[in-house]
Amino acid sequence: MAQITQINNRWILSGDVVNSSAGDILKASQAFSIVENTTVDFADVEDIDTTAVSLILEWKRRAAKENQTLIFVNLPENLTSLVQLYDVAELIS
């Protein structure tokens, strides 16, 4: 089961960030605040698919609207590969 929690300016993802869980993750994150240099931590993510890239891009759009910055840390290797495959690395870093 996927989960996202917020502790101060850190969003912590856990479980599987896949198509079946993305809607719930996005919905939960909408209640979170984005403050200066909010960090999204993928350290506890077990499995991902291309949906994770979509979530990241959606969060980046939201942060830009709110004139804030999101920092993504502990990206799984397979997520890094997908980001490079879709040529969106510059949008995420």
DSSP conformation class of 30: T
| Claim: this prediction has a pTM higher than 0.85 | yes
C-alpha torsion 39→41→3→30, nearest 10: 20
| Cα distance between residue 23 and residue 38, in whole Å | 21
C-alpha dist (Å) from residue 54 to 5, 8, 69:
19, 24, 17
Number of domains observed in the structure of the chain = 1
**Is-contact 71 40, C-beta < 8 A?**
yes
Q: Would you write out the chain's pLDDT as a tens digit for each of its 93 residues? A: 899 999 999 999 999 999 999 999 999 999 999 998 899 999 999 999 999 999 999 999 999 999 999 999 999 999 989 888 888 888 777
CATH number, domain with residue 31: 3.30.750.24
DSSP symbol at 28: H
Q: Which domain holds residue 75?
A: 3-92
